[in-house]
Structure 1
Amino acid sequence: MTPETVCLPDGQTYTVSPVFGGVAFKSNDLTHGTHFPVGWNIALHTEEEKLVFEDGSTAPVNGEGHGEAAGRGDATAMDTTDDGSAPKRKKRVRPFSQPTRQNDTLFISSLSTPSSQEYGPPASPTRQIAMILWVSLYWYFHQREPSPHMSTEASHETPDSAKPMGEWRITIQRDGVLRGRNLIPKLERMGLLATQSTDVGTSLDDSDETWSHMFVSQRMFWQLPPNLFLFTLKPVKGSSPWPGLAASPNTSRPGSPAAQGPAAHFTPRAASPQLGVAKLYNDLPGAPIPTNLAAGVSTVHPITPFFSTSHLPTYYPPLTLQYTFTGNLRHPLRPKPPRMGELFYSRFLPSVGRYLSFRVASLSPEPVPYFGPLGPKPPDRPELTSLSDAQLLESWFAKPRVAAFWGKFTPEFLPNALQSNHSFPAIGLWDGVPFGYFEIYWVKEDILGKVLGGEAGDFDRGLHVMVGEEWARGRASEWMTSLVHWCFTTDMRTMNICLEPRIDNDRILKHLDESGFGRERQISFPHKQSWYVRLRRETWTGPLL
Structure 2
Amino acid sequence: MALQIIRLPDGQSYTVTPVFAGLFFKSRELSTHINAFPIGWSVVLHTQDDAGEAPPSADAETTPHVRSFTRPTLQNDKLFISSISNPSSNDFKPATSPTRQIAMMLWVTLYWYFHQPEPPSILHAEASKHTPESGKPRGEWRINIKRDGVLRGRNLIPKLERMGLISTLDSAVGVAMDDSEGWSRMFVSRKMFWQIPGRLFLFTLQPNASKPVHSHPGSPTSSRPGSPAIGEPARPHLSPTISHSTAADLPGAPPPMTLTSTPTYPIGPFYSSSHLPTYYPPAPPLFIMTDNIRHPVRPKPPRMGEVFYTRFIHSVGQYLSFRVASLSPKAVPHMGPIGPKPPSQSDLQTLSDTSLLQKWLANPRVSAFWGGYEQDFLTHALASKHSFPVIGMWDGVPFGYFEIYWVKEDALGRYIGSCDADDWDRGFHVFIGEDWARGRVKPWLTSLVHWSFCSDYRTMSICVEPRVDNKRFIQHLQYAGFSKDKEISFPHKQAWFGRLRRDAWDGPAF
Please give the TM-score of this superposition, normalised by the length of structure 2.
0.93
**Aligned: 1:314 with 2:278:** yes
Corresponding residue of 1:250: none
Corresponding residue of 1:28: 28
Residue 334 of structure 2 aligns to a residue in which SS?
Answer: coil
**Aligned: 1:305 with 2:269:** yes
**Inter-partner Cα distance in structure 2 for 1:77 and 1:311:** 54
Residue 418 of structure 1, CA deviation: 0.4
The answer to whether the 8 A contact 2:218-2:240 is kept is no
**Inter-partner Cα distance in structure 2 for 1:339 and 1:30:** 31
**Inter-partner Cα distance in structure 2 for 1:12 and 1:266:** 16
Where in structure 2 are the equivalents of 1:331-410 lying within 5 Å?
A: 331-410=295-374
The answer to whether the 8 A contact 1:167-1:217 is kept is yes
Residue 399 of structure 2 aligns to a residue in which SS?
Answer: strand
Letter of the structure 1 residue corresponding to residue 44 of structure 2: A
Where in structure 2 are the equivalents of 1:163-182 lying within 5 Å?
A: 163-182=136-155
The answer to whether the 8 A contact 2:217-2:240 is kept is no
Larger Rg: 1
Corresponding residue of 1:239: 212
Corresponding residue of 1:13: 13
The answer to whether the 8 A contact 1:76-1:93 is kept is no
The answer to whether the 8 A contact 1:6-1:14 is kept is yes
Percentage of pairs with the same residue: 57
Residue 319 of structure 1, CA deviation: 1.8
Where in structure 2 are the equivalents of 1:49-448 lying within 5 Å?
A: 49-51=50-52, 78-80=59-61, 91-206=64-179, 208-237=180-209, 238-241=211-214, 271=239, 276-291=242-257, 293-294=258-259, 296-448=260-412
Residue 457 of structure 2 aligns to a residue in which SS?
Answer: coil
Corresponding residue of 1:64: none
Letter of the structure 2 residue corresponding to residue 186 of structure 1: K
Residue 462 of structure 1 aligns to a residue in which SS?
Answer: strand
Residue 160 of structure 2 aligns to a residue in which SS?
Answer: helix
Residue 79 of structure 1, CA deviation: 3.2
Residue 50 of structure 1 aligns to a residue in which SS?
Answer: coil
The answer to whether the 8 A contact 1:45-1:104 is kept is yes
Distance 1:246 1:212, change over 3 A: closer
Distance 1:92 1:271, change over 3 A: closer
**Inter-partner Cα distance in structure 2 for 1:505 and 1:463:** 15
Please give the TM-score of this superposition, normalised by the length of structure 1.
0.87
Residue 243 of structure 2 aligns to a residue in which SS?
Answer: helix
Distance 1:503 1:102, change over 3 A: same
Which digits, 9 at most, give the CA deviation of each residue in 1:395-442, with x for residues without a partner? Answer: 000000000000010110001000000000000000000000000000
Residue 134 of structure 1 aligns to a residue in which SS?
Answer: helix
Residue 351 of structure 1, CA deviation: 1.2
Which digits, 9 at most, give the CA deviation of each residue in 1:176-229, with x for residues without a partner? Answer: 0001120000000000010011001123444x2310110000000000000000
Aligned residues: 496
**Inter-partner Cα distance in structure 1 for 2:226 and 2:422:** 44
Which digits, 9 at most, give the CA deviation of each residue in 1:70-109, with x for residues without a partner? Answer: x58xx987233xxxxxxxx873110100000000000000
Residue 247 of structure 2 aligns to a residue in which SS?
Answer: helix
**Inter-partner Cα distance in structure 2 for 1:266 and 1:192:** 35
Letter of the structure 1 residue corresponding to residue 29 of structure 2: D
Corresponding residue of 1:538: 503
Shifted more, 489-498 versus 208-217: the winner is: 208-217
Corresponding residue of 1:457: 422
Distance 1:459 1:240, change over 3 A: same
Residue 245 of structure 1, CA deviation: 10
Letter of the structure 2 residue corresponding to residue 443 of structure 1: V
Residue 394 of structure 1 aligns to a residue in which SS?
Answer: helix
The answer to whether the 8 A contact 2:28-2:226 is kept is no
Distance 1:190 1:268, change over 3 A: farther
Gaps of 5+ in 1: 52-59, 61-70, 81-88, 248-260
Residue 127 of structure 2 aligns to a residue in which SS?
Answer: coil
Residue 336 of structure 1, CA deviation: 0.1
The answer to whether the 8 A contact 1:277-1:298 is kept is no
Residue 300 of structure 1, CA deviation: 2.3
Gaps of 5+ in 2: 33-37
Residue 50 of structure 1, CA deviation: 3.0
Distance 1:432 1:269, change over 3 A: farther
**Inter-partner Cα distance in structure 1 for 2:488 and 2:94:** 57
Letter of the structure 1 residue corresponding to residue 191 of structure 2: R
Runs of 4+ displaced beyond 4 Å: 242-247, 261-273
Corresponding residue of 2:487: 522
Letter of the structure 1 residue corresponding to residue 181 of structure 2: E
